[in-house]
Amino acid sequence: RKEVEQDPGPFNVPEGATVAFNCTYSNSASQSFFWYRQDCRKEPKLLMSVYSSGNEDGRFTAQLNRASQYISLLIRDSKLSDSATYLCVVNKDTGFQKLVFGTGTRLLVSP
Partner 1 sequence: NAGVTQTPKFQVLKTGQSMTLQCAQDMNHNSMYWYRQDPGMGLRLIYYSASEGTTDKGEVPNGYNVSRLNKREFSLRLESAAPSQTSVYFCASKAGNYGYTFGSGTRLTVV
Question: Closest CB to partner 1 among 22 and 49?
Answer: 49
CB of 2 to partner 1, least distance (A): 9
Sheet holding 4-6, edge to edge: 4-6, 19-25, 70-75, 60-65, 55-57
- φ, ψ for residue 9, nearest 5 deg: 75, -150
Residue 78 or 91 with smaller CB distance to partner 1: 91
∠ at Cα 88 (40, 59), nearest 5°? 80
Please state the closest distance from residue 56 (CB atom) to partner 1, in A: 17
In the complex with partner 1, the residue whose CB is nearer, 19 or 90, is 90
Nearer to partner 1, 21 or 104 (CB): 104
In whole angstroms, the minimum distance from the beta carbon of 88 to partner 1 comes to 10
List contacts with partner 1 (CB under 8 A).
32, 34, 36, 42-46, 49, 87, 89, 96-104
